[in-house]
């Protein structure tokens, strides 16, 4: 997907990622479509490559702590109201990707491949591939929900 820095590549490979990785997304698609959250192309492409990875990182980052995250949409099951409401509020379709910091926060992706932290507020890690690098290297996401209220 990208020319990762050596550090990011090491973290991804240690988490089980390999170039050309393809994961079946059908179960996640049907699970969330049943509650009205449609898997768009960006979510499918991201999850085919990175779905199921658990990234166990910690320590200081660029401007926030490096925190573990898991890219499994099932971890956001039951949060469909949160994703639907933020999608409506922001005017972008957020599809669940998993969780950050052991479930303290959820991760979602919009149709432009921008990865967001989703809680009682929303912040952006930026578009792929920078978003994954920002998550791994500990870059503070930019709060975006205030821009849309």
pLDDT tens-place string over residues 39-81? 999 999 999 999 999 999 999 999 999 999 999 999 999 999 9
48 within domain boundaries? yes
Residue 55 lies in a domain: yes
Residue 138 in any domain: the answer is yes
In a domain, 70, yes or no: yes
Q: Is residue 1, in this structure, part of any structural domain at all? A: no
Which tokens sit at 75?
Answer: 């971890």
Identify whether the C-beta of residue 110 lies closer than 8 Å to the C-beta of residue 116. Answer: yes
pLDDT higher than threshold 80 for residue 147:
no
Exposed/middle/buried for 21, CB within 10 Å: 0-12, 13-18, 19+?
middle
- Does the residue 128 lie in any domain? yes
| Cα dist from 3 to 6, 7, 36, 75, 128, whole Å | 9, 11, 35, 29, 12
Q: Model's pTM, two decimal places?
A: 0.94
What is the per-residue pLDDT for 69? 97
Per-residue confidence band for 1, with pLDDT thresholds at 50, 70 and 90: very low
Q: Residue 50: which domain range?
A: 6-148
For 89-146, how does the pLDDT look when each residue is reduced to its tens digit (9 = 90+)?
999 999 999 999 988 999 999 999 999 999 999 999 999 999 999 999 999 999 998 7
Q: How many CB atoms lie within 10 A of CB 94?
A: 29
- Report the pLDDT value the prediction gives residue 77, as an integer from 0 to 100: 95
CATH label of the domain that carries residue 122: 3.40.1580
What's the structural domain count of the chain? 1
User: Is 34 part of a structural domain of the chain?
Assistant: yes
- Cα–Cα dist 1/94, whole Å: 21
Q: What's the rounded Cα separation, in Å, for the pair 126 and 123? A: 9
Query: Does some domain include residue 97?
Result: yes
Looking at residue 145, its pLDDT comes to: 80
From CA 79, how far away is CA 95, in angstroms rounded? 11
């Amino acid at each position: 997907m990208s020319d990762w820095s050596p550090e990011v590549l090491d973290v991804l490979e240690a988490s089980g990622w390999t170039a050309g990785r393809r994961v079946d997304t059908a179960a996640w698609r049907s699970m969330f479509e049943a509650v009205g959250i449609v898997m768009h192309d960006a979510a499918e492409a991201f999850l085919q490559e990175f779905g199921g990875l658990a990234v166990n990182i910690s320590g200081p980052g660029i401007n926030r702590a490096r925190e573990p995250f898991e890219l499994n949409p099932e971890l956001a099951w039951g949060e469909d109201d949160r994703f639907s409401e933020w999608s409506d509020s922001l005017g972008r379709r957020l599809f669940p990707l998993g969780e950050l910091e052991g479930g303290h926060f959820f991760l979602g992706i919009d149709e432009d491949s921008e990865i967001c932290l989703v809680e009682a507020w929303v912040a952006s890690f930026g578009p792929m591939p920078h978003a994954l690098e920002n998550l791994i290297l500990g870059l503070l996401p930019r709060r975006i929900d205030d821009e849309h209220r």
